[in-house]
Chain A
Amino acid sequence: MNEGAQPAGRPVSITSAPGSGNSASGLAASTPAAAPPPPPGGQSRAHRLARLFSSNTTGLILLIAASSAVFSLLGTGYLGSFNLFSLSQQVAVDAVVGFSQLVMLAMARMNLAVTSIGAGVVMLSGTLMAHDGVPAVAALLAGLLAGAAVGWLMGWIEVHSRLSSFIVTLAFMSIYAGVMLAVTHGTEITTLPSSVGNFATAAIVVPQLSILLVVAAAAGVVLAVIYKLTPAGWKMLSVGENERAARLSGIQVSRIVIFGYVLSGVLAAVAGLMTMSLDASAIPSIGSTWLLTSFIGPVLGGAALSGGQVSVSGAFLGIVFYDSISSGLIVLHVSTYYLGLAQGVVLLGALMLDQLRRRVRLREQAQRSSLAAAEGGR
């Protein structure tokens, strides 16, 4: 819609705001026809404030701070080390679950099979450890490999059938779950080596932080490096942004999509194995709420469902916010039965807020694009 406005707006804004190429005075410069621009100083301060709140990271940090303040004032023990420790465990697992979805969202795809992959990997790894006497490390590695393999299979099928990721992963969600249940008969394994269970109870640096956070942070750093520094990262993003354009510019879309599926599968496997350590047993019904959780982090963190955008740190903060709400509700003695409701409401509220913010940003972008005609508003 700004296509039409660009040619007219461009010369005006360039003359009215010389030398301020980027964001700050774009707002001032870009309403050429309607009103004369207000003085640049005040405008840019208001603008900076608006930017502060329209940034996901800052907004989430503020939300986390505010909700923590409320919970620690209203309830007792929210900031106690026991509560914070279990919160950090939960955050670590959910963050990796979110990363698994984030990888798919970046490619404008989704993975509905995260739950099934997590549970399947846990049961495989648990069986190897407890019943087949495989050393724990080897069994964990086997679990990761299995995650990669099931991710690869879905990716291969998507690429070769050209079906949507939704339908492929929906089908595999029940296929993987069915295979796992048929093999294990739904019985949990409680006789894991003690090292597995002990791992999740260890703390790092301070007693409030679980060692699982290290795993989550490592996964996050790997993802951030992939997206910021490697060709595979920007290829995944460009496939998400515009698949046709990516194909035409010589990216081997099939290969990069399959890579994304493998990455997502491995991350789901990691999340599963972390849960196994947390439970100190292999439970076939783990991850029953993962589907919702997996979208919450990335979406709160500002990933677009339409692909092409990721924020690893945003996804992490999104999960911190979301889990701190759940944990706060427990501190306030809200029945755990209401957590599902809270989950849904938080996601819905965040979505609507995000939509508002996006509208602000779109307006901003439209104005900036009248400065630089090359930048079309999305």
Chain B
Amino acid sequence: MTARRLANQEATLVLVIIIASIAFWLTAPKYLGSANIVAVLTSASTTVVIGFAQLTCLSVGEMSLAVGGIGAAVTVLGGMLLDQDHVSLALVAVICLIGGLLAGLINGLVTARTHLSGFIVTLATGGAYSGLAIGITKSNPYPTVPPALATFGQGQWGFIPYLAVAPAVCAVLLFIFYRWRRTGRELLAVGGNRNAAALAGISVPKATIWAHTLSGVLAAVAAIMFMGVLRQSVPTIGSDWLVSSFAVPIIGGTLLAGGEISIGGAVLAAVLLSVISDGLVLVNVSQYIVEMVEGILILAAVLADRFRLVVRDMSRPARQLRTIGKATDGGATA
């Protein structure tokens, strides 16, 4: 049932991406030019990693409002280290990932220990992380990055930007983690039904900590990618990640209530978001409308999901209907 729902979601996304692309191509032929395709894929690459950072939290039924904050703090950490001449890029990248991991770990520990909702904890820590980034730098960017990082951010093979390697690796690792690793399955079990998982002997605090820590690492990956794309370390990065971090997994079919994730769906959702915002700019629609698109797409995606359920429910016996309702209705209490 789950697999079918997600397959539906993914098929719909592919269809919408194709239709949107054709529409944009007809209005503005340079839409399918190689420069534009690279631009779309670049923006999709960063967006999908931001989305993954939220997806890991959603998988256990948590949410993180600190994805952007961690991104900002890691960016500043990276910028500070790159400012010293003698630190190698690889070392900086590793330290950044560890920094993200620690920031996520703090979120996880506080959430698990205090039994507060992840929402309010990460609202606070996210504010603190981004405040720290702004405080240290007084909002000024570190203006340079090493050429290797800039190449990573802006180079390409044909249509494919180098940057796309990062989301590809993340997607494969996440897929393996959630499909075949015991911990990954435990995360999903906790997300699906916290009490049942606890009764089955799964540690809910451990799953919570894992989810937030993974989220921190992924936010750090996104931060490093942006340093390459922008060729500088901007401390205000991440201030606009909030909506897209939720938009990507949710449009992709991941449940807000937890327990059901779609990694492929998240990738497609990020592509769709990038296609539409890039296309709208290309056909000279006000760039501000783009801001709306994410919101409308989130609503459209969840409403479509609801609608599909309703339609399917109508052709099923009442007893099954109730179980389906229960499985998906968790989303009604965030």
Which A residues lie at the B interface, using CB under 8 A? 108-110, 157, 161-168, 170-175, 177-179, 181-182, 185-186, 243, 291-292, 295, 299, 305, 335, 337-345, 347-348, 351-352, 355
Dominant secondary structure of chain B at its interface with chain A:
helix
Taking CB atoms, residues of chain B closer than 8 Å to A292 are 123-124, 127
| Nearest Cβ on chain B to A16's Cβ, whole angstroms | 32
B324 to A: closest C-beta gap in Å: 13
With A166-B256, A166-B334, A171-B296 already in contact, 10 other A-B pairs whose C-beta atoms are closer than 8 Å: A162-B332, A164-B333, A167-B298, A172-B295, A175-B296, A178-B295, A181-B291, A295-B120, A340-B132, A345-B128
A361 and B298 alpha carbons, distance in the complex (Å): 40
Contact A335 B256 (CB under 8 A): no
B96 to chain A, nearest CB (A): 20
Q: Which of chain B's residues has its CB closest to A158's CB?
A: B332
Contact A305 B117 (CB under 8 A): yes
Partner of A344, one of B126, B293, B332: B126
Q: Which residues in chain B, 263-317, are within 8 Å of chain A measured between CB atoms?
A: 286, 288-296, 298-299, 302-303, 306
- Do A305 and B129 contact each other (CB < 8 Å), given the known contacts A162-B329, A181-B291, A348-B124? no
Looking at the assembled complex, report how far the CB atom of B221 sits from the nearest CB atom of chain A, in whole angstroms: 23
Is B120 a contact partner of A178 (Cβ separation < 8 A)? Answer: no
Once the chains are docked, how many angstroms separate the CA of A173 from the CA of B294? 10
Q: How far is the CA of A177 from the CA of B296 in the complex (A)?
A: 12
Chain B interface: which size bin?
A: 35 or more
Cβ of B323 < 8 Å from any Cβ of A? no
- Most B CB contacts (10 A, CB to CB) among A171, A291, A335, A345 go to A171
Q: What are 19 A-B pairs with beta-carbon distances under 8 A?
A: A110-B119, A167-B246, A167-B298, A167-B302, A167-B331, A170-B298, A171-B294, A173-B295, A174-B243, A178-B288, A182-B292, A292-B124, A299-B120, A338-B131, A339-B131, A344-B130, A344-B131, A351-B124, A352-B114
A-contact 0/1 string along B116-151, CB 8 Å cutoff: 110111011111111110110111000000000000
A153 to B114: give the CA distance in the assembly, Å: 35
- Tell me whether B4 is interfacial, beta carbon within 8 Å: no
Instruction: Given A295-B120, A335-B135, A344-B126, decide whether A165 and B291 contact each other with a Cβ distance below 8 A.
Output: no
Residue with the highest number of chain A CB atoms closer than 10 Å, among B110, B288, B289: B288
Query: Which of A163, A173, A348 interacts with B243 by CB under 8 Å?
Result: A173
Known: A181-B291, A186-B288, A355-B115. A343 touches B302 (CB 8 A): no
Is B101's beta carbon under 8 Å from chain A? no
| B82 contacts partner chain A, Cβ-Cβ < 8 Å | no
Q: Chain A nearest CB: distance from B128 CB in Å?
A: 3
Q: B250: CB under 8 A from chain A? A: yes
User: Are the CB atoms of A351 and B116 closer together than 8 Å?
Assistant: yes
The reply to whether A178 and B293 form a contact with Cβ atoms under 8 Å apart is: yes
| Contact status A348-B128, CB under 8 Å | yes
Closest to A339 in B: B131
Query: A residues within 8 A CB of B332?
Result: 162-164
| Most-contacted residue by chain A among B121, B135, B138, B289 (CB, 10 A) | B135
Q: A170 to B243, Cβ gap below 8 A?
A: yes
The CA of A361 and the CA of B75, in the complex, are separated in Å by 42
Chain A residues within an 8 Å CB radius of B246: 167, 170
Tell me if A167 and B123 are in contact (CB < 8 A): no
Q: How many angstroms between the C-alpha atoms of A157 and B295 in the bound complex?
A: 13
Which residues does chain B contribute within 8 Å of A170, judged by CB atoms?
A: 242-243, 246, 295, 298
Query: Does B139 lie within 8 Å of A171, measured CB to CB?
Result: no
Contact A343 B127 (CB under 8 A): yes
What A residues does B130 contact at CB under 8 A?
A: 340, 344
- Asked if A161 and B334 sit within 8 Å, CB to CB, the answer is no
What distance in Å separates the Cβ of B269 from its nearest Cβ neighbour in chain A?
Answer: 14
Q: Are B128 and A344 in contact (CB under 8 A)?
A: yes
Smallest distance from the beta carbon of B254 to chain A beta carbons, Å?
Answer: 12
| Residues in A whose Cβ lies below 8 Å from that of B114 | 351-352, 355
**Once bound together, how far apart are the Cα atoms of A112 and B130, in whole Å?**
19
Q: Known contacts A164-B334, A295-B120: does B131 contact A179 (CB below 8 Å)?
A: no
Of B63, B132, B291, the contact of A178 (CB 8 Å cutoff) = B291
Q: What is the CB-to-nearest-CB distance from A12 to chain B, in angstroms, rounded to a whole number?
A: 30
A344→B127 contact, CB < 8 A: yes
